[in-house]
Amino acid sequence: MLVPATGISSQISDAVYLASILILAVLLARPVYGVYSASQTRAVEIVAAGVEKMIDSIPSGGSTVVRLEAGVGATFSVRLSGHTVSVSSGGFTAISQVKCSLPSMTLSSGTAYRLSETGGRLFVEKTRSG
């Protein structure tokens, strides 16, 4: 049985196209992961710095209500302990230091908290309003 030349040409063309796509995917995998890792690292650094600035800006005797919200495709875990704020997301972690003493606890996304600073200590309680 004879196969027309256009049939063979089409099969070769499809094979070259598929091989090209696979080679391109392999070549781009490392740079794409590098960009992803850098963006995730930067995201947790920004959130940690923001939480640090927010806590350090509470005046002695003052309080504020905050609500942590997760972005699209990003879920953050915020851990307070000693003078350290630790933010984690997707295996990436950033740490910031604050001036006041913090309780040992993890803040949950979607929950409102009242942060009160008294005598160099931060008090955190869940609240209904955000």
| Residue ranges per structural domain of the chain | 5-127
Dist. CA 24–CA 26, nearest whole Å: 5
User: pTM of the prediction?
Assistant: 0.73
Short-list 107, 47, 110, CA closest to 78: 107
Reported as a pLDDT band with limits 50, 70 and 90, residue 130 is: very low
pLDDT digit string (tens) for 54-100? 999 999 999 999 888 776 667 788 999 999 999 998 889 999 999 99
pLDDT digit string (tens) for 15-67? 999 999 999 999 999 998 899 888 888 989 998 999 999 999 999 999 999 88
What are the two backbone dihedrals, phi and then psi, of residue 43, each rounded to the nearest 5 degrees? -60, -45
Q: What is the pLDDT of residue 45?
A: 93
